[in-house]
Amino acid sequence: MKRAKIVAATLLTVALAVPTATAVAADAYGGGAHAWSPAGGDSGKISVKDNSSDGDPVKAEYYRTESPDTKRTLWNHSGPGTTVTSGDGSRIYKFKACDENYGDPDDCSKWVIP
């Protein structure tokens, strides 16, 4: 019993001493699209930038922890060199960047986990 208390106390000490994990920034590139999360240091936001001048919009497709079965899409129709950022919400747990190609398959990155 004494050994169990020592192990429990040790585990509690380690848990309190180790800082909680913060969101690590992740990037995804698909065609001319660049998406990243967390955006602005907020794990509930994602940004997508249009790095091409092909006239096609770019988008970030993503999932949030509060609605894990709902794929969301953040569009950037603003043109080359512009960035759009989502509203805040629950943590984004996976996303990808896509360059829209009308009539052809989109150029998308693989899914990224921030």
Are 78 and 55 in contact by the 8 Å Cβ rule? The answer is no
Reading the block at residue 100, the tokens are 């829209």
Furthest CA-CA distance within the chain: 70
End-to-end alpha carbon distance in the chain? 41
What is the model's pLDDT at position 103?
A: 85
The pTM assigned to this predicted structure is: 0.78
Give the whole-angstrom CA distance, residue 46 versus residue 57: 16
pLDDT digits 0-9 by tens, 70-85: 999 999 999 999 999 9
pLDDT digits 0-9 by tens, 9-52: 444 343 433 333 455 789 999 999 999 999 999 999 999 999 99
With residue 69 as reference, give the H or E element that holds it. strand 67-76
